[in-house]
Structure 1
Amino acid sequence: MRTAHQYRLRLTKQQQFTIDMWIELCRRQYNYRLGERFNWWEQNRCDINSCPLICHLPELKDRPDLYSQKRDLVNTKQLLSEYKEIPSHTLQDVIARVEKTFDRWLKGDSNGKRSGKPRFKGQGRYRSIAFPDPVKPEHIKGNLIQLPKIGNLKVILHRPIPDGFKVKTAAIVKKADGYYITLSLQDSSIPELTPEVPTLDNTIGIDLGLKSFLVYDSGEEVVIPQHYRKLERRLKKIQRSLSRKKKGSKRRKKAIKRVAKAHLKVSNQRKDFHYKTAKKLLSIGKNIGHENLNIKSIARTRMAKSTHDAGWGQFLQILSVKAANAGLMTIAVNPNGTTQECSSCGQKVPKTIQDRWHECQCGCSLDRDHNAAKVIKHRAVGHLVRKAQEAARALEVSSSKKRDKTMPDGIPGVTEKPALYASA
């Protein structure tokens, strides 16, 4: 089992100066290595629609990859002595970040989805450094944790490290309100739980919305907190104050920090609400069906502010991770027509966005979101049943094709059947 705990750091002024310097040097190294890859890409590519039949390209350069750029760190340390103070694995992690973001742009991730073109990190845009080496148990003493080339750091252990877990990696993150350390913990002795096959008895449906954050298929509602809208007046005031400050002045830096802290507070409140809501959902002990929403498209409409304030994407991500740890499933279903379909008889009941009550000829009368949650529950169970049937059908087709490629007496290599079996 793999999990992560984040703790606040109490650093001395010297430690803060050292970490800030390391973050800045890693930012410059990130931009330099990303620039190397962009130069290779620009000098070696040739558009198909504008390439002549006879093309005289300069000698192609070797593509900078993960290992070649790691080997070049030796030259970096010889030219710039300040890089010798940074742990080697921390610098190698910077190269790994460049490799990951560049490959996701050109090749895409495991699902084939490509990201946008990587951007160079400006000042303040690179906020974390990693220590990939495992932290040994003897390096954690009380509220002190020892990291290479920086010494003991004071940590506020608001929750203890679980027994049996080993600290695999550590990362220091700089936020608007201070420094934090994230410990990646692993315990191989904890087995992964296998979820049960979803049925109507062990599955619940939830409908995400903006009137209520979510509605259970039982009719219970979770009120949407609207953290950003509640702090909007405060944000407007301090952002207006920021716009009046002279660029480059100390007062402007202080105003920027006030704005950053206000936004961080909203983010922390929203994340805390998402974790508590996910825990309440999973405490029921049932699989959860939800809509497979296209959140990016919804966030481009006039409901953008409310959609971002609700944070559906972050909530569903937290819910899926916590459900997997609890041995449960989150099932994403097609959202088309969930509010129009009757949960009792399945008939389509047209509604506009203003119609908040579902009334069907079959006698089903309930709230619009309550009805949608019930439809989502039925779709979640039926979705997996159809997937299992399709998988079984595909397996049967593949096995029949294998049988067709063999003779009746078991001799392989013959693709056509004899006349005796043609009519069978």
Structure 2
Amino acid sequence: MEFKAVLKEPQKLAINEAIRTARFVRNKVLRYWMDNRGTGKKELYRYNTQLREEFKFVKDLNSHACQASVENVERAIKRFFDNCKNKVPGKKGYPRFKKYFRSVEYKQSGWKLSPDKKSIKFTDKKGIGQVKLKGTWDLWRFDQKLIKRVRIVQRADGYYVQFCVKIDNSEQLEATGFTVGLDVGLKEFYTDSDGYTERLPRFYRNGEKRLKFYQRRVSRKKKGSANRKKAINKLGRQHLKISRQREEHAKRLARCVIRSNDLVAYVRAACRRQDLRVKNLVKNHCLAKSINDAGWYQFREWLEYFGQKFGRVTVAVNPAYTSQNCSSCGKVVKKSLSTRTHICECGCQLDRDHNAAKNILTRALSTVGHTGTFLNARGESTSTLLGSGLDEQVGSLNRESPGF
């Protein structure tokens, strides 16, 4: 959950100093790992302790906040080695230094909530002090022991305080008896297996004129001047507005789709093998802007989140030949990207995306089985990557289908 922070100018300066310190610790620990290959987790934390003894401004930051910066490096290193081990195509994500850092993260110390839960006090020596919280979340309902992390985030329109709360927010819904397959696209945001299409909002395209206006204003200002900083802030606010519109649109649609169906099948848009690789698709300079504006990856993430929350099944299907195969007879009907209508010799004539959505649903049902049994041993729904067998299945499924 997230709250807007109501701050005075000295508090903003103190938060900026805390963020710079967290970035300093992260970059120094990363440099230590680069210079001493083979160092493990313990050595990184020991070096963090040395930094606190050597630099006073590091010691002024809460010790757990410094540890959070070390954990940031740990995750980057682990992700790099995992990508190398799994032979992920392309760049493996070698850890890099951070020039721009916009957050500082505290664990369960260094802060204290007020009794009314409407303000938070940061108790380290950075001088942030009491911060008033502005938002609609019911933070007072949670015990402070359940709050595992507190993060201060800087954005173009101000500062925000985020709380990571350990709670069970699952909600069981009654079965609807419906299943659906979704095919995302650039003509429509998605087309489902029933033929329904959702309009593509094109938030970036609609706001592009305003973005160019603010970008020109930034270019005209003298570098390093106060006016240039103000112009950059206005440009950042416009980008932030567009990203929030896209996020809210994906969240709203995903919630609606999940609540209305017991099973949702879709083409996985991620950066892994056998998936629809958005990273590769945007290399097409003619479609890159439209693909990034569509927000397929955000939509997929919210589908999986709400699927887990509401006890529904989300199934990621291998995209191979979903557009080329006939959903009626299964015959391959080759077509170019410009061909928008699927016409088969068997008499099946559908919109290209509608045909693909039906194929996506068919693949999901043929592999998973009966839709009433999609719960693992703990009673939680799972997300499964389908296609070339079940070699990348997440979790386990209890199935009644006799074919498994």
* Class of the TM-score when normalised by the shorter of the 2 chains: 0.7 to 0.9
Q: Does 1:118 align with 2:95?
A: yes
- The answer as to whether partners of 2:113 and 2:119 remain within 8 angstroms in 1 is no
Deviation at 1:177, TM superposition (A): 0.9
Task: Give the drift of 1:181.
Answer: 1.3
Tell me the equivalent position of 2:163. Answer: 183
Distance 2:56 2:246 in 1: 43
Q: CA deviation at 1:86?
A: 1.0
Aligned residue number for residue 338 of structure 1: 322
Q: What are the superposed Cα offsets for residues 155-194 of structure 1, whole Å, 9 maximum, x if unpaired? A: 1122323845632211111111111111111225x77979
The SS at the match of 1:354 is coil
Partner Cα separation in structure 1 for residue 10 and residue 160 of structure 2: 16
> What number of residue pairs does the alignment pair up?
360
Is 1:350 matched up with 2:301?
A: no
Query: Does structure 1 conserve the Cα–Cα contact (< 8 Å) formed by 2:183 and 2:356?
Result: yes
Q: Does structure 2 conserve the Cα–Cα contact (< 8 Å) formed by 1:90 and 1:131?
A: yes
TM-score (norm 2): 0.81
Residue 291 (1) aligns with residue 275 (2): no
**SS in structure 1 opposite 2:139?**
coil
Aligned to 1:271: 247
Q: 2:135 — aligned with what? A: 157
Distance 2:98 2:111 in 1: 32
Contact 1:144 1:152 in 2 (8 A): yes
Within a 5 Å distance, the mapping from 1:396-415 to structure 2 comes to: none
Task: Give me the whole-angstrom Cα distance separating, in 2, the residues matched to 1:76 and 1:64.
Answer: 17
Counterpart of 1:156, as a letter, is: K
Q: Percent identity?
A: 33
The structure number with the bigger radius of gyration is: 1
- Structure 1: segments with no counterpart, 5+ residues: 42-62, 392-424
Give the drift of 1:8.
1.3
Alignment of 1:5-404 (within 5 A): 5-41=1-37, 63-108=38-83, 113=88, 115-122=92-99, 125-133=100-108, 139=114, 141-149=116-124, 150-161=128-139, 163=141, 166-187=146-167, 202-292=178-268, 293-301=276-284, 302-385=286-369
* Structure-2 change in CA distance of 1:336 and 1:108 (3 Å): closer
Letter aligned with residue 33 of structure 1: V
Q: What TM-score results when the alignment is normalised by the length of structure 1? A: 0.77
| Amino acid in structure 1 at the alignment position of 2:305 | V
1:290–1:333 contact (8 Å) kept in structure 2: yes
Task: Write the deviation string for residues 308-353 of structure 1: whole angstroms up to 9, x where unpaired.
Answer: 0001112111211221111112111121222222222222233232
Question: In the alignment, is the contact (CA less than 8 A) between 1:145 and 1:154 conserved in 2?
Answer: yes
One-letter amino acid of the counterpart of residue 22, structure 1: A
Contact 1:129-1:173 within 8 A present in 2 as well? yes
In the TM superposition, residue 151 of structure 1 has moved relative to its aligned partner by: 3.6
Conserved 8 A contact 1:299-1:305: yes
Whether the 8 Å CA contact 2:5–2:134 is kept in 1: the answer is yes
> Is contact 2:156-2:237 (8 Å) kept?
yes
1:9-65 CA distance string (max 9 Å, x none): 111222211111111111122111111111123xxxxxxxxxxxxxxxxxxxxx543
SS at match of 1:257: helix
Partners of 1:20 and 1:179 in 2: CA distance = 10
1:10·1:155 contact (CA, 8 Å) conserved in 2? Answer: yes
CA distance in 1, matches of 2:343, 2:44: 65
CA distance in 1, matches of 2:357, 2:159: 41
Q: Which residue identity is paired with 1:82? A: F
Aligned to 2:300, the other structure's residue is in SS state helix
**Structure 2 CA distance for partners of 1:352 and 1:152, relative to 1, 3 Å:** same
Aligned 8 A contact 1:195 1:327 in 2: no
The residue identity in structure 1 corresponding to 2:11 is Q
3-state SS in 1 of match to 2:260 = coil
| SS of equivalent to 1:72 | helix
3-state secondary structure, aligned to 2:297: helix
